[in-house]
Structure 1
Amino acid sequence: MLDLTLEEISIAINGHFIKRNKDEHFVKVSTDTRKIEKQSIFFALRGENFNGNNYIEEAVKKGASVCIVDEERAEFANLQCNIIKVLDSKKALQALAKYYRNKLGLKVVGITGSNGKTSTKDILAAILGEKYSVFKTKGNFNNDIGLPLMILELDRSIDIAVLEMGMSNLREIHLLADIARPDIALITNIGLSHIENLKSRENILKAKMEIVDYFNEENTLIVNGDDDLLKDVISEQYKIIKTGLDKYNDLIASNVTLFKDHSEFEVMGEDTKFNFSLPMLGKHSIQNCLLCLQVGKLLGISMKEMNDGLNNIEATSMRLEIIEEEKITIVNDCYNASPSSMKAAIDVVNNIAENRKVAILGTMRELGDESLKAHTETGLYAKENNIDLLLCCGQYSEGFKTGFEGENCIVFDSKEELINSLKDLIKEKDTVLVKASRGMKFEDIVSELRKIIL
């Protein structure tokens, strides 16, 4: 239930009433009439190919009790609904979320980084859930519309909101930080994602660091100190804590052991070491986990409670999901792809596979001038790290082939052609990695692999 009055909403978004009735009951916020529920506040957003003001009548029919519009139309007068006019519906949504976050006064942890944001969010929510009532960003609702919608799902039963913050250019996280005002911020790493827009990793770092634009001495930034750019971050305005596998970090994992279905490591506590078991794979997952353990320490959660919390991770699907079929093992990592996450996934395959290792890779997008080089280096990494067969399709697949070299790299003209060849190429007991940027929808390949009868 939203803890807001109609008057508060109007003031927060600097709007005026076109129509007002006695219905002041609202429980949710929506921007999509296809999913709207009764007693919702509907924001009529605009996009390149749509205008939410055209759907006000439909929203009211489906039960919206408040509509926020940025056009004034004669037909609105006949609707049985509160209608508030603003200059810009999207900015109004953001303003209401900022007001609401401030009103609730709960603690907010913001997470950003080139890779690992969602996995880190899942780990942190599980750890904090041992002691607090926690809300975490759903799916990839981490942009200038998604984040406000997440904040407007909160209520007074929540102690801590774990909010993911994404970006594709400068000033975007600055806006999100203004809305969410995180008390603690985490940065997972600085990779090549969005280098097409930002041109350099240094600019990507600058964009990610916008998460601290509203920080003061009461706030804490926690970064992956193993990252070559993040390890040098300093500030006199707020606290910085660095975590990782390198001995120079403030919180360090030692005695790391990687198993087929989990990872184990030790962390030094106040006066003793504690053994952690993380049901995720790869060293990168341990680096993400350390960020979360540091948050737990700041918020008074014991080492034992945090380790117990790791057993309750609710992981987002298609991120290094191990699927044990009767005759093959599939590593489903189809959610997204970047050079660093490709290499991390290949490392995982190396760690869990007992027989032949196959990688099915697709395009890594938004790498700009670095695209061909990044695909070539990924192909070389696969070759040097024991991938036996590389199957690829999509743009820059020739880069994969150049890096991998040899006849055990096959480039297909289309995803469909690759799928049709799976039955002839995949063998019993293979471990098969499937990974590409989200738009390639490589989960279709995973579905076909699961149907193969060898």
Structure 2
Amino acid sequence: MELTFKELVKAIDGEVLLKNKKIFNNICTDTRKIVKDNIFLALKGDNFNGNKYVKDALEKGASIAIVDEVCFEPVEVKGTVIKVDNTYDALLSLAKYYREKLGVKVVGITGSTGKTSTKDLVAAFLSERYKVFKTKGNFNNHIGLPLMILSLDSSIEVAVLELGMSNLGEIHTLADCARPDIALITNIGLSHIENLKTRENILKAKLEITDFFNSDNKLIVNSEDEYLKNLSRENYELIKTGYGEGNKFFAKDIVLGESTTSFKLRDGDYEHEFTLPMVGAHNVLNALLGIAAAKTLGVTYDEMERGLKNIEATSMRLEFIKVNGFTVINDCYNASPDSMNAALDVLKNYKGKRKIAVLGTMRELGDESKEAHRAVGEYANDKADILVTTGEYVEDYKLGFNCGKFKNYSSKEEMINEIRTFIKKDDVILVKASRGAKFEDVVAKLKE
């Protein structure tokens, strides 16, 4: 972090209880990962209290500890201790202060699905002209997002940040911290409907990314989404992308390959052909959002095309693994109805003898869960020869899937023990479930 000690204290409105060291580098919230001169931020949850580990953190090399509860005797510690009202709030305030000090351009991305793939594409499109930072993994919540901002330095010109949420008000908080110059919304699906109850509320929550917008800001949306296509301009510029000519940027002549996806981009009368190093028609929509963002930041189409060579895709997102004479499509990072259908489309289009879909539970769907799993099973009918499932919605998958062989297991462990027994040469196996199901364990077994 490029901050002085004085700026640090000011940004978090802290009270210096002990002042021994004023040299610091990065924030750390886990004493197991402390390195010399870190700031240890003591977070507190239902089952843990970081304030109790201040002495340990300072002994391991941290120079400063930020606490909201004093659980030590002053004579026990040798570093600097700063007290705040709430360490979570302090983290957000510090990141907001730092983002404003750096003055970096921020592209914020939210949506029910496709955030990470869109983030990867945006970063690639920008990479030929700018030095770009992008959110690592799924660091997109009230802890992860500020930690990403605080890992920036003055050499970064554009930060591409994911903003995630599970309820109303959360993106508002993140948007206040990140203050995106440009915001992208991928779609409005069923993810988190368990908390938000309706897709209208999901739309409302996603639009919180514009809560601090003015006439200088731009919102870019996927107009193929039924909830985004009818958005009207507010106090900021609204840019729509999609397949139709009514969009500012639109795609035509899409060609789906086994390892690439090509399309022609139209921007008014101008046309440019792109070939994405990723599969699936859904990635065309993600790419259009990224192209619009890059164009807004002055990147040429030739630069965008060259930038695609720099793409660094997040792991477990449509990762193709050829092993033991068959192909595994590893898409274990997360799952929702929309992303399940998109992955099944990829399975259908991939060359192979038998198509096998290994699908687990989609979480956080609330009252929509049973119908959503049945619908995915139905969607799989002309995409998979065999549907393999486990989890609490096995019967709903089965209800929808009736055009192929259905195999279900009482547990993931039972599935792992038996899955290799029916896999044959030249099979293509899609493995996908919500993150908590940890279906990467299934992939690991297939790779043995």
What is the TM-score with the length of structure 1 in the denominator? 0.97
Partner of 1:412: 409
The separation in 1 between residues aligned to 2:159 and 2:95, in whole angstroms, is 13
Partner of 1:300: 298
Partner of 2:359: 361
Partner of 2:14: 15
Partner of 1:32: 30
Choose the corresponding residue for 1:322, options 320, 335, 339.
320
User: Any idea what the Cα deviations from partners look like across 1:252-274, whole Å, max 9, x if unmatched?
Assistant: 01111000000001112464311
Name the aligned partner's letter for residue 17 of structure 1.
V
Give the length in aligned residue pairs. 448
Q: How far did residue 73 of structure 1 move?
A: 4.1
Q: How far did residue 40 of structure 1 move?
A: 0.9
Q: How far did residue 326 of structure 1 move?
A: 4.1
Secondary structure (helix, strand or coil) at the match of 2:31 reads coil
Choose the corresponding residue for 2:270, options 229, 249, 272.
272
Q: How far did residue 248 of structure 1 move?
A: 2.4
Q: Is the 8 A contact 1:269 1:303 kept in 2?
A: no
Partner of 2:84: 86
Name the aligned partner's letter for residue 368 of structure 2.
E
Q: Is the 8 A contact 1:195 1:368 kept in 2?
A: yes
Q: How does 1:283-432 map to 2 (within 5 A)?
A: 283-383=281-381, 385-405=382-402, 408-432=405-429
Q: Is the 8 A contact 1:134 1:162 kept in 2?
A: yes
Q: Is the 8 A contact 1:143 1:176 kept in 2?
A: yes
User: Any idea what the Cα deviations from partners look like across 1:266-302, whole Å, max 9, x if unmatched?
Assistant: 1124643111010011111110011000111111111
- The runs of 4+ residues in structure 1 deviating greater than 6 Å are none
Q: How does 1:107-256 map to 2 (within 5 A)?
A: 107-256=105-254
Q: How far did residue 57 of structure 1 move?
A: 1.0
The separation in 2 between residues aligned to 1:422 and 1:246, in whole angstroms, is 43
Name the aligned partner's letter for residue 341 of structure 1.
S
The separation in 2 between residues aligned to 1:66 and 1:192, in whole angstroms, is 43
The separation in 2 between residues aligned to 1:238 and 1:33, in whole angstroms, is 43
Q: Is the 8 A contact 2:347 2:383 kept in 1?
A: no
- Change beyond 3 A, Cα 1:112–1:436: same
The separation in 2 between residues aligned to 1:268 and 1:196, in whole angstroms, is 38
Where structure 1 has 5 or more consecutive residues not aligned to the other structure, the ranges are none
User: Any idea what the Cα deviations from partners look like across 1:302-339, whole Å, max 9, x if unmatched?
Assistant: 10110111111101100111112241111100010000
Choose the corresponding residue for 1:441, options 431, 438, 443.
438
User: Any idea what the Cα deviations from partners look like across 1:148-167, whole Å, max 9, x if unmatched?
Assistant: 11110011111011110000
What is the TM-score with the length of structure 2 in the denominator? 0.98
Q: How far did residue 78 of structure 1 move?
A: 3.3
Q: Is the 8 A contact 2:140 2:162 kept in 1?
A: yes
Name the aligned partner's letter for residue 407 of structure 2.
I
Q: Is the 8 A contact 1:359 1:390 kept in 2?
A: yes
Name the aligned partner's letter for residue 57 of structure 2.
A
Name the aligned partner's letter for residue 386 of structure 1.
K
Q: How far did residue 35 of structure 1 move?
A: 1.0
Q: Is the 8 A contact 1:68 1:85 kept in 2?
A: yes
Name the aligned partner's letter for residue 261 of structure 1.
S
User: Any idea what the Cα deviations from partners look like across 1:422-453, whole Å, max 9, x if unmatched?
Assistant: 122211111100000011111111111122xx
Q: How far did residue 25 of structure 1 move?
A: 1.5
The separation in 2 between residues aligned to 1:420 and 1:72, in whole angstroms, is 50
Q: How far did residue 3 of structure 1 move?
A: 1.4
Q: How far did residue 76 of structure 1 move?
A: 3.3
Where structure 2 has 5 or more consecutive residues not aligned to the other structure, the ranges are none
Task: Give the % identical residues.
Answer: 56
Secondary structure (helix, strand or coil) at the match of 2:220 reads strand
Q: Is the 8 A contact 2:52 2:72 kept in 1?
A: no
Name the aligned partner's letter for residue 99 of structure 1.
Y
Q: Is the 8 A contact 1:434 1:446 kept in 2?
A: yes
Q: Is the 8 A contact 2:330 2:430 kept in 1?
A: yes
The separation in 2 between residues aligned to 1:105 and 1:149, in whole angstroms, is 17
- Change beyond 3 A, Cα 1:74–1:377: closer
User: Any idea what the Cα deviations from partners look like across 1:107-162, whole Å, max 9, x if unmatched?
Assistant: 11100000011111111111111111111111111000111111100111110111
Name the aligned partner's letter for residue 404 of structure 1.
F
Q: Is the 8 A contact 2:385 2:404 kept in 1?
A: no
The separation in 2 between residues aligned to 1:365 and 1:73, in whole angstroms, is 38
The separation in 2 between residues aligned to 1:204 and 1:407, in whole angstroms, is 35
Larger mean CA deviation between 190-199 and 416-425 belongs to 416-425
Q: Is the 8 A contact 2:248 2:267 kept in 1?
A: no
Secondary structure (helix, strand or coil) at the match of 1:177 reads helix
Name the aligned partner's letter for residue 343 of structure 1.
N
Name the aligned partner's letter for residue 330 of structure 1.
V
The separation in 2 between residues aligned to 1:108 and 1:51, in whole angstroms, is 33
Larger mean CA deviation between 309-318 and 398-407 belongs to 398-407
Q: Is the 8 A contact 1:278 1:311 kept in 2?
A: no
Q: How far did residue 246 of structure 1 move?
A: 2.8
The separation in 2 between residues aligned to 1:94 and 1:289, in whole angstroms, is 30
User: Any idea what the Cα deviations from partners look like across 1:370-405, whole Å, max 9, x if unmatched?
Assistant: 00000000000001x231000000111111000003
The separation in 2 between residues aligned to 1:407 and 1:161, in whole angstroms, is 46
Larger mean CA deviation between 264-273 and 99-108 belongs to 264-273
- Change beyond 3 A, Cα 1:106–1:401: same
Name the aligned partner's letter for residue 62 of structure 2.
A
Partner of 1:42: 40
